[in-house]
Amino acid sequence: MKNAVVKNFSKPDMIRTCPKARLELLRLGGATVGRTVFEPGWRWTTSVQPILKTKSCETPHLQFHLSGVLRVRMDNGSEVDCLPGDVSSLPPGHDAWVVGDESVVVVELHGRIDGVETR
């Protein structure tokens, strides 16, 4: 008989950080869910690109946006703003940054974050 699993981000299984961001991961059976907090001033090209050394973020993301405004610019030049309550599907080839003075909080439903796959 299988049991239900309940976890809370207040006690994550793993924490990853980079400048101005914190990723908390929960593992539930075969799935991993991530919550990321991006502080004001965070931008992929300044906080993550120096670590990964790629032109842009090459990871697809499926995210639920809880707070703040995250602006995403695709390599083709198109831009979208992700707002609280939005669900975004971001294909590889993008930059992203926090707009304004409020932290951005997202729940990663599917993607790959800092070497950890969520699905």
Cβ–Cβ < 8 Å for 109, 64: yes
Domain that holds residue 89: 14-114
Please check whether residue 74 lies inside any domain of the structure: yes
Cβ–Cβ < 8 Å for 117, 63: no
Overall domain count for the chain: 1
- Span 65-87, pLDDT tens digits: 999 999 999 999 999 999 999 99
Please check whether residue 5 lies inside any domain of the structure: no
Cβ–Cβ < 8 Å for 62, 87: yes
- For the entire predicted model, the pTM comes to 0.88
Please check whether residue 37 lies inside any domain of the structure: yes
pLDDT at 119 exceeding the cut of 70: no
Q: Specify the pLDDT at position 111.
A: 58
Output the domain CATH number for residue 22.
2.60.120.10
H-helix or E-strand spanning residue 81: strand 79-82
Residue in the structure block whose two tokens are 């304004």: 100
pLDDT at 1 exceeding the cut of 90: no
Region 38-47 average pLDDT: 95
Please check whether residue 73 lies inside any domain of the structure: yes
